[in-house]
Amino acid sequence: MATTFNPDTPLAGLPPKDLLAKGYKPTISDLLEKEEALLMIKNTFEANLKENVNLQRVSCPLFLTKRSGFNDNLNGVERPATFAPRDFQDVKLEVPFSLAKWKRWALHYYGVQPGKGIVTDFRGLRCDDDVDYTHSLYVDQWDWEKVITPEDRNVETLQSTVKNVYKSVYATHQQVCQKYGMTAFLPEEITFCSSDELLKKYPDATPKERENIICKEHGAVFLMGIGGWKADGELRHDGRAPDYDDWTTPRPDGGTGINGDLLVWNPIFECSFELSSMGIRVNPETLVQQLDLCKCPERKEFTWHRMLLDGTLPQTIGGGIGQSRVCQFMLQCAHIGEVQHGWYNPEEVAVLKEQNIRLLGLGEFSEDPMAASVHPGAKLQEYAKEKEHVRATGP
């Protein structure tokens, strides 16, 4: 999803001012009732996803070795949370950003046949992510992957799979709205378009503006062709790592890339809202091509890359679906911290509390040792006043 987050803007992570000014009220105020709702949403969606996409739940790792090359590189600049075992200091272990590569290996490991796939309950850390009302450092997502044949590497397979994923979103939305007395608003069918098409149609708009235009019009959109660059060297729409999604294969519509983002119109924010990033994965030829385009051909020497290049790993389609994102959207929450335990800017937390927006767990406190739950005498208001005093007096 294209973002408009600007870290230089004061309190940039807060929900839109218009939303706060309207007097936002959460769908569910009681914390224990909310926890029940979160469990219901997650269980319902996972059951729908497994049935519609033909997936089986499997366990997954919390960390991977750096040398294996199994970690998702995202845009190639993010820092993974890294540590070494106490007695093996020369071994570097990383908390993965996602399981984009591991899942493909797991399909080989479990001997999964074409037409069937796996889904995991993935938890990870993204130290360099924006921290705002829709992003956090903590990642929880349904990471899924499905085996396809080489002949299935086409737009038809991509779109049929997207329809089944969206069918799961739509069904869950209907069930949640019925249970909690909300008005359903998602369309029954998803619309397909491409970043190439939107770029031609709205050349002067930003990527986020283009997403907003198309999502407002259709309600639910799969935007094909994410990754790669325009002729002027700027990103075509948003970044993608070179070694999982295929963003270079030509499509019949004249664009490139058999991957994309599943976006919905979020009425509470009045903008597009990404629920999933997914796509048909690279084959050996597109892997080499995309590694060269991204100027990182040395990755071919990693264990995972060698297994793909020598044909050990199967051809696949897969993606990640944010659990907290889905819950935030389904319950129409103003802040992602309302549905997950995380850490957020203490100054922004203070503003949210003034607006009666409660974040889960220690997310509603400033960082230790200032947390009032640990030190009863330390209040957020005092922390904010201290920060203001420092600004006023200078160094």
Residue among 46, 72, 152, 246 flagged as catalytic: 72
Instruction: Let me know if 238 is a catalytic residue.
Output: no
Q: Confirm if 245 and 259 have CB atoms less than 8 A apart.
A: yes
Q: Confirm if 160 and 266 have CB atoms less than 8 A apart.
A: no
Neighbours of 182 (CB within 10 A): 14
DSSP letter (8 states) at residue 152:
G
* AA letter at 246: D
Instruction: Let me know if 72 is a catalytic residue.
Output: yes
Residue among 46, 104, 136, 141 flagged as catalytic: 141
Residue among 277, 290, 324, 328 flagged as catalytic: 277
CB-count burial class (<10 Å; 0-12, 13-18, 19+) for 123:
middle
**Rounded Cα distance, 70 and 18, in Å:** 42
Residue among 98, 104, 126, 211 flagged as catalytic: 126
CB-count burial class (<10 Å; 0-12, 13-18, 19+) for 148:
buried
Residue among 143, 261, 338, 364 flagged as catalytic: 261
The 3 state secondary structure assigned to 362-381 is HHHCCCCCCCCCCCCCCCHH
**Rounded Cα distance, 123 and 127, in Å:** 13
Instruction: Let me know if 67 is a catalytic residue.
Output: no
Instruction: Let me know if 236 is a catalytic residue.
Output: no
Residue among 274, 338, 347, 348 flagged as catalytic: 274
DSSP letter (8 states) at residue 254:
S
Instruction: Let me know if 270 is a catalytic residue.
Output: no
Instruction: Let me know if 292 is a catalytic residue.
Output: no
Active site residues: 72, 126, 141, 261, 274, 277
